[in-house]
Amino acid sequence: GAVVSQHPSWVICKSGTSVKIECRSLDFQATTMFWYRQFPKQSLMLMATSNEGSKATYEQGVEKDKFLINHASLTLSTLTVTSAHPEDSSFYICSARGTGRETQYFGPGTRLLVL
């Protein structure tokens, strides 16, 4: 149980385009989802927290207009990187947490390369 998927697993896009990444909880309802960014050989940096049906809460320094997060259902959250630039290239990981649960379950990650 507690499986989280992400799609796509990797994406290459041109600078200036937008990219959408999906995060799904497959066997539980995720009231809260988290989006992280990870640079090579580094730890995870929390970008934002999203609760189903409400606006995401962004961490300090994260541009909310650049990283659009939508958590429209209890099993799906999306992260859209708008007008992507090469510096947005990174590994993006989502996690999900169910109601009353304290544990986050992580997706397999999405590697984004912006050319």
Partner 1 sequence: AQSVTQPDIHITVSEGASLELRCNYSYGATPYLFWYVQSPGQGLQLLLKYFSGDTLVQGIKGFEAEFKRSQSSFNLRKPSVHWSDAAEYFCAVGPPSNTGKLIFGQGTTLQVKP
Query: Backbone phi, then psi, for 97, in 5-degree steps?
Result: -140, 135
User: Is 89 among the residues that bind partner 1 (CB under 8 A)?
Assistant: no
C-alpha–C-alpha distance, residues 31 and 71, integer Å: 9
Q: Which is nearer to partner 1, 5 or 80 (CB)?
A: 5
- When binding is defined by CB under 8 A, the residue of 56, 67, 88, 109 that contacts partner 1 is 109
Question: Which of the ranges 12-20, 68-76, 80-88, 103-111 carries the binding residues for partner 1, by CB under 8 A?
Answer: 103-111
**Residues 80, 25: Cα–Cα separation, whole Å:** 18
For residue 114, state whether it binds partner 1 (rule: CB under 8 A).
no
Q: Are 91 and 110 in contact (CB under 8 A)?
A: yes
Contacts of 65 (CB under 8 A, 6+ apart): 82
Residue whose structure tokens are 């999906």: 22
Pick from 7, 13, 49, 82: which binds partner 1 (CB under 8 A)? 49
The residues that touch partner 1, with contacts defined as CB under 8 A, are 4, 6, 32, 34, 42-44, 46, 49, 91, 93, 95, 97, 100, 102-109, 111
